[in-house]
C-alpha cells in the first residue's frame, strides 16, 4: 500500500519517522510519498483531506475528525513543553489583550492555548513560527507565541517570557499538554491503520537505540540548528506519550477538544 505521509522537518518528527521512511525497519506492505512541511501547512492540507497520514496540531482535530482518526503513536504531548508568549520587555498581563500578537498559524495548538489563556486578545498576526522572534525584535508585533526550537533561543536574543502557555494549561486543567498528533484518513482500511500505528511505534523505538547519536536524516532537515538544540528539542517533545498516548494522553486530548468547543461556541 502506497500512502502519502506528512510531518514537519523538526527534529522530533524526523526522529520519530526516520526508520519508517528510510527502510531501517520492515515496513511490511507500506511505501510512502513523504512530505516535510510546516505544521500549519499540514493543518491546512488536512482541511482538504490531501494526505493519507499526517502530523497535525490537536487544535485542528475538531475540524477534521469526520475524515481523520488519531493514531496512538507519534504524538507530541507532555509536560513543560508548551508554547511561550514572549516580548522585548515585561508587559503586565492585563495589557496583553490590547497587543498585536504574532501566532504560528490560526489552526495551531499554540494559538488555541493562547486563546484559552487570553480570550480577549484578538489582534493576531499569523506568520511562520521561525519568523516570530525577529518580528518581535523588529517591532512588527508587540509580542509573539513561539514554539519548537525557539523555546531554546529567545533568551539569547534578549527577549523575555511573558507566560508559559503550557504551564497555564497544566495548572488550570491538571493535564499534560497535547500539542500535535499523527492522524490517518478513515478511508484507509482499519487493519492497515492499526498496522501503520504499530510501525510508527517501532520506528521511534529504532531511533532510540542509537540516541543521543543523531542520524544524518534528522540533522539534514534541522536547517542550521546546533546538535545540542536538536537533542533539547527531541528530549522535550518525544517521550512515552509519543510511543503510545495511553489513557492519560487520550484524556488530555479530550480536555483540549472540550476547551476548543467552548471557544468556538
56 is in an annotated binding site: yes
Number of neighbouring beta carbons within 10 Å of residue 31: 12
Domain ranges of the chain: 2-77+179-264, 84-173
pLDDT confidence of residue 265: 64
Catalytic residue among 2, 35, 148, 201: 148
Contact 171, 80 (CB under 8 A): no
Told to judge if 148 belongs to the known catalytic residues of this protein, a careful annotator would answer yes
Please provide residue 70's backbone torsions phi and psi, each rounded to the nearest 5 degrees: -80, 130
pLDDT digits (tens, 9 = 90+) for 146-177: 988 788 889 989 999 999 999 999 999 999 99
Q: Which three cell numbers stand for residue 60?
A: 485542528
pLDDT digits (tens, 9 = 90+) for 75-89: 999 999 899 999 999
Between 130 and 37, where is the model more confident? 37
pLDDT digits (tens, 9 = 90+) for 40-51: 899 999 999 999
Same topology, domains 2-77+179-264 and 84-173? Answer is yes
Helical packing angle, 11-21 and 190-208, nearest 10°: 110
pTM, two decimals, is: 0.90
What is the residue-averaged pLDDT of the chain? Answer: 94
Query: Which whole-number Å values give the CA distances from 226 to 52, 149, 153, 235, in the listed order?
Result: 32, 10, 11, 14
pLDDT digits (tens, 9 = 90+) for 91-141: 999 999 999 999 998 989 999 999 999 999 999 999 988 899 999 999 999
pLDDT confidence of residue 12: 95
Pairing outcome for strands 101-103 and 2-7: unpaired
Q: Which three cell numbers stand for residue 1?
A: 500500500
pLDDT confidence of residue 211: 97
Q: Which fold has domain 84-173?
A: D-Maltodextrin-Binding Protein; domain 2 (3.40.190)
Q: In this prediction, what percent of the chain has a pLDDT beyond 90?
A: 86
pLDDT average, residue stretch 47-56: 97
Q: In this prediction, what percent of the chain has a pLDDT beyond 70?
A: 99
110 is in an annotated binding site: yes
Top CATH class of 2-77+179-264 equals: alpha beta
pLDDT confidence of residue 225: 79
pLDDT average, residue stretch 202-226: 93
Q: With b meaning 16 or more CB within 10 Å and e meaning fewer, what string describes 170-206? A: beebebbbbbbbbbbbeebeeebbebbbebbbbbbeb
Contact 172, 118 (CB under 8 A): no
Amino acid at each position: 500500500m502506497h500512502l502519502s505521509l506528512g510531518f514537519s522537518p523538526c527534529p522530533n518528527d524526523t526522529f520519530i519517522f526516520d526508520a519508517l521512511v528510510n527502510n531501517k525497519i520492515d515496513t511490511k506492505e507500506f511505501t510512502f510519498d513523504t512530505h516535510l512541511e510546516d505544521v500549519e501547512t499540514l493543518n491546512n492540507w488536512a482541511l482538504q483531506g490531501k494526505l493519507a497520514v499526517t502530523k497535525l496540531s490537536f487544535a485542528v482535530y475538531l475540524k477534521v475528525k469526520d475524515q481523520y482518526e488519531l493514531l496512538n503513536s507519534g504524538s507530541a504531548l507532555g509536560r513543560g513543553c508548551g508554547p511561550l508568549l514572549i516580548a522585548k520587555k515585561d508587559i503586565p498581563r492585563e495589557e496583553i489583550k490590547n497587543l498585536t500578537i504574532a501566532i504560528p498559524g490560526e489552526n495551531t495548538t499554540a494559538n488555541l492555548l493562547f486563546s484559552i489563556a487570553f480570550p480577549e486578545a484578538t489582534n493576531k498576526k499569523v506568520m511562520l513560527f521561525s519568523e516570530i522572534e525577529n518580528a518581535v525584535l523588529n517591532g512588527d508585533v508587540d509580542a509573539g507565541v513561539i514554539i519548537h526550537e525557539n523555546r531554546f533561543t529567545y533568551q539569547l536574543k534578549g527577549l523575555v517570557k511573558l507566560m508559559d502557555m503550557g504551564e497555564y494549561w497544566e495548572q488550570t486543567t491538571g493535564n499534560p499538554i497535547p500539542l500535535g498528533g499523527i492522524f490517518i484518513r478513515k478511508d484507509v482500511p482499519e487493519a492497515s491503520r492499526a498496522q501503520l500505528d504499530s510501525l510508527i511505534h517501532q520506528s521511534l523505538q529504532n531511533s532510540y537505540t542509537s540516541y543521543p547519536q543523531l542520524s544524518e536524516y534528522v540533522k539534514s532537515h534541522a536547517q542550521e540548528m546546533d546538535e545540542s538544540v536538536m537533542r533539547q528539542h527531541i528530549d522535550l517533545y518525544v517521550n512515552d506519550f509519543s510511543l503510545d498516548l495511553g489513557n492519560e494522553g487520550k484524556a488530555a486530548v479530550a480536555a483540549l477538544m472540550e476547551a476548543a468547543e467552548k471557544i468556538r461556541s
